[in-house]
């Protein structure tokens, strides 16, 4: 059994010359893990993870680990299945002045960031990739293919990006990692650029047929506007390989994916867990500030994504688009101006031919799109306006 100590993890996560193997992290996670039954639950009291077991023949079984729902969020809430976050290297140095690094994209700062990732997740940078990713000059594997650290590049303004994929979320050494990451991002003034909030339903509590009927009924509409949808798999004659329903578009910063996970896995999984449906809501940072609270309460943000998902959590926190906020404020400003001063403006135009004599030379701050690198909207998560965000995005400024 490999030692589960901070020194060992730091050594094994070193980017030079060690190569991190999954055995290190899996031993750290499963050193005292209980045995699992074949119904998807644990025979012990592990609060962090469930192992699903299906027979594959000859007395052999296949096991898949899935994160449990966040017990600190809501009994019926969700878990995180993907997190991307970025921060400025200068803020990293400011938050951790004792790190032994000085560059903005060199191996010294990569090593320093890697050590912080080990503290957060139990694994850090393990291998340098041949090229960059996401328009960064350099990229590095973290853990055993569990994500990437991206850094460098003339247009990246001395920032770095950490991508933690679904396998990485499952393989985390410490399952109470969300709050440490929340504290880290607060310290470095970081931002979340993508987060997937996910919930599993194993016994038919929610199905693709439910979601399809709700969509056709208009229940997924937002502010009176129909949300786009697309399907994958055999919907005309379901063949047991699994179907998927996508609602929204990821390029717009919010996409819901509902799919038959058990059938997708195939084999005995499609028999043992034929009712298993996974609901994933991906938030992107386009025109949005994704609040750090999503790390602590993923179920509340999943539940607020669309009305049919409200059953997932009694409390909902909605992520509003910055563009929608600006457009709603613009429409409100016009309405107030017309109501209180419309007649005066009409009279001035009638006399002078224009309103140039009363026009200012600055734009009110409420009508300026927020700089999402620095500014946090005070009312994020609060349903402040009656106008839905999708409707607001279609409003005209003239």
| Number of CB atoms found within 10 A of residue 142's CB | 28
The residue assigned the tokens 């279609």 is 394
Residue 12 CB coordination number (10 Å)? 21
How many C-beta atoms lie closer than 10 Å to residue 315's C-beta? 14
Fill in the DSSP letter of residue 280. E
Cis ω before 17 (30° cut-off from 0): yes
- The three-state secondary structure class of 324 is helix
Which position has the token pair 């017990």? Answer: 71
* Residue 269, token pair as written in the block: 């999984």
Contact (CB, 8 A) for 139 and 124:
no
CB 113 within 8 A of CB 160: yes
Q: Single out the residue of 163, 131, 132 nearest to residue 147, CA to CA.
A: 163
Six-digit token pair at 301? 């943000």
**How far apart (Å, rounded) are the C-alpha atoms in residues 239 and 232?**
12
Q: Where are the domains of the chain?
A: 7-17+69-318, 322-393
- Locate 365 and state its tokens: 């701050």
SS3 of the chain: helix, strand, coil, percent, to 5: 35, 25, 45
Which DSSP symbol is given to 311? G
Distance of CA 203 to the CA centre of its chain: 25
Angle, in degrees to the nearest 10, between helices 107-121 and 178-187? 140
Give pTM, 2 decimals: 0.69
Question: Tens-of-pLDDT digits for all 398 residues of the chain?
Answer: 233 333 444 344 444 333 333 333 334 433 433 332 333 333 344 454 555 555 556 666 566 665 555 544 444 468 999 999 999 999 999 999 999 889 999 999 999 999 999 999 989 999 999 999 999 999 999 999 999 999 998 889 899 999 999 999 987 755 689 999 999 999 999 999 999 999 999 888 999 999 999 999 999 998 778 999 999 999 999 998 999 999 999 888 899 999 999 898 888 777 888 899 999 999 998 878 899 999 999 999 999 999 999 998 888 888 766 555 566 667 777 788 888 888 888 888 888 887 778 877 666 665 554 333 333 333 333 333 333 444 333 333 33
Torsion of CA 305, 311, 312, 316, to 10 degrees: 50
The strand pairing partners of 64, in sequence order, are 52
Residue pair 140/35 in contact (Cβ under 8 Å)? The answer is: no
Q: Is 200 helix (H, G, I), strand (E, B) or coil?
A: strand
Q: What are the angstrom distances between the C-alpha of 77 and each of 28, 85, 103, 165? A: 26, 22, 41, 20
Q: Are 315 and 398 in contact (CB under 8 A)?
A: no
């Amino acid at each position: 059994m490999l030692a589960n100590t901070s020194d060992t993890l730091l050594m094994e996560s070193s980017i030079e010359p060690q190569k991190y193997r999954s055995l290190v992290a899996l031993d750290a996670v499963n050193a005292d893990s209980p045995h699992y039954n074949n119904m998807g639950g644990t025979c012990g009291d592990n609060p962090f993870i469930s192992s699903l077991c299906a027979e594959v023949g000859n007395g052999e079984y296949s096991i898949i680990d899935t994160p449990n729902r966040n017990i600190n969020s809501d009994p019926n809430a969700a878990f995180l299945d993907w997190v991307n976050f970025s921060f400025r290297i200068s803020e990293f140095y400011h938050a951790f002045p004792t790190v032994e690094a000085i560059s903005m994209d060199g191996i010294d700062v990569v090593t320093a960031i890697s050590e912080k990732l080990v503290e957060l997740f139990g694994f850090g940078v393990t291998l340098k990739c041949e090229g960059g990713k996401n328009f960064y000059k350099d990229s590095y594997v973290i853990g055993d293919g569990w994500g990437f650290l991206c850094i460098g590049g003339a247009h990246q303004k001395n920032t770095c990006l950490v991508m933690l994929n679904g396998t990485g979320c499952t393989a985390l050494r410490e399952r109470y990692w969300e709050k440490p990451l929340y504290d880290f991002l607060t310290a470095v003034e970081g931002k979340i650029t993508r987060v997937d909030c996910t919930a599993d339903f194993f016994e038919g509590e929610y199905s693709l047929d439910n979601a399809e009927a709700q969509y056709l009924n208009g229940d997924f509409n937002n502010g009176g506007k129909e949300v786009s949808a697309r399907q994958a798999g055999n919907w005309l004659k379901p063949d047991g390989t699994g179907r998927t329903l996508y609602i929204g578009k990821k390029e717009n910063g919010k996409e819901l994916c509902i799919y038959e996970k058990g059938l997708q896995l195939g084999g005995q999984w499609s028999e043992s867990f034929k009712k298993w449906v996974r609901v994933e809501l991906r938030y992107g940072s386009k025109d949005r500030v994704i609040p750090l609270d999503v790390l602590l309460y993923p179920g509340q943000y999943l539940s607020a994504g669309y009305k049919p998902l409200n059953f997932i959590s009694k409390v909902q926190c909605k992520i509003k688009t910055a563009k929608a906020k600006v457009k709603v404020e613009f429409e409100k400003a016009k309405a107030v101006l017309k109501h209180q001063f419309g007649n005066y403006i009409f009279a001035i135009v009638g006399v002078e031919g224009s309103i140039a004599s009363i026009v200012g030379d600055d734009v009110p701050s409420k009508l300026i799109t927020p700089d999402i690198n620095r500014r946090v909207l005070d009312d994020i998560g609060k349903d402040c306006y009656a106008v839905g965000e999708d409707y607001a995005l279609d409003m005209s400024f003239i």
